[in-house]
Structures are given as structure tokens and as C-alpha cells.
Structure 1
Amino acid sequence: MQQFGSFREFYPFYLSEHANRVSRRLHFIGSWGVLALVATAIVTGNAWWLLAALACGYGFAWVGHFFFEKNRPATFRHPFYSFAGDWVMFADILRGRVRL
């Protein structure tokens, strides 16, 4: 397993694991879904929506990995950096730094 001393070292690896455009799009859609479901949990006061948010985010991402990237999600090896990478990539897509 590859080791990283910082998130700054990890992020280029993370992006290389998301080279497939469909996979990036699925991650992006999943992240929007997470935001919507977390907002729903807050508005309704129903914490069960947070489980739906987890399933949405990881579900879309894992479909991208297993069916389009044909690799194992970085979540299995680097869960915290991978979680951060999802949101940094989401922000980078919104900023136009990563192509969707």
C-alpha cells in the first residue's frame, strides 16, 4: 500500500484514480446528492437522511470505480484522505480546475 505524508502528496494520486470522465461525473453527482440529503436531514430534523447521504455519496463513487475506472476505491486504503479528496475534487470541478 502506498503511503502519503500529507494530503498534498495524496491528491495527485487521488486524481489519477479518477481519470475516467464518467467516474468523475458520478462522483460529482453523488456529492451533490450528499449535499441535498444533508440539507434534507437538517430541514426535517430526521437523521435517517444522513444514512441516505452516505449511501448516495459512496454508491455513485463506487459505481464509477468498479464499472468505469476498473479499480478499487481509495477509500479502502486511505479513508480520510479519500473523503477529503472527494470534496476537494468536487470544489476543483466547480472552479474549472478539473474537467467534468
Structure 2
Amino acid sequence: MTDSEGRQIENPKLYEKTLKKIKILQKNLSRKKKGSKNYEKARIKLARAHEKLKNQRDDLQTLKILHQMIFICVENLNIKNMVRNRRLSKKIQDASWGKFLRHARLQS
């Protein structure tokens, strides 16, 4: 993202950073027997990791970007169709363009 003063804000790639932990937790969950107490514990750990990732994205967008800006201009992109591209989909979802646009609409 580039603001009106020319400063660029890079995507912190939160998903890529937490992907290794999520993969390990998912593997641990798949090894457990469904319905057991250990399965529930592993499921909760995985859910917490996903929740933490979601909260990090929300915090980054709302605190750093949207509260500083008065006017936001965004290119009109069809994100839903762009996510169908298997090579770009993880990067687009990691940048969470759709969530950024929703937050921007709520701020205005």
C-alpha cells in the first residue's frame, strides 16, 4: 500500500509466518482419534492459532492504516475471481484485501 505522501507499507505476510505452526497443529490433530479428549485439546489449539492469525490481520489493518487515513482510494478489483488462481490465492488471502475494504467502508 502506498499513501498520499509516498510512504509504502509492506504486507507483513502473517499467514506465511504462522503457516509452519498451523501445519504442525493440523498434523497433530489428524493423528488423534475423533471424539477423544486429546482430539478436542488439539482442535482447540488449532482453532486458537487460526484465531490469533485473524486477530493479527484485524489489528494491523484497523490500528496502523485506517485510523491514520482520511481518504482511501482503492482499485476496483474482483477479489473473488482472483482467489481462484491457485498460485496467487494464498498471497491475496494473506494480504486480506477484502477485509481491508470492509474495514475501510465501516470507517467512512
TM > 0.5: no
Q: What TM-score bracket applies, with the shorter chain setting the length?
A: 0.3 to 0.5
Q: TM-score normalized by structure 1?
A: 0.40
Q: Comparing both structures, which one devotes a greater share of its residues to helix?
A: 1
Q: TM-score normalized by structure 2?
A: 0.38
Q: Which has the higher contact order (CA 8 A, sep 6+)?
A: 1
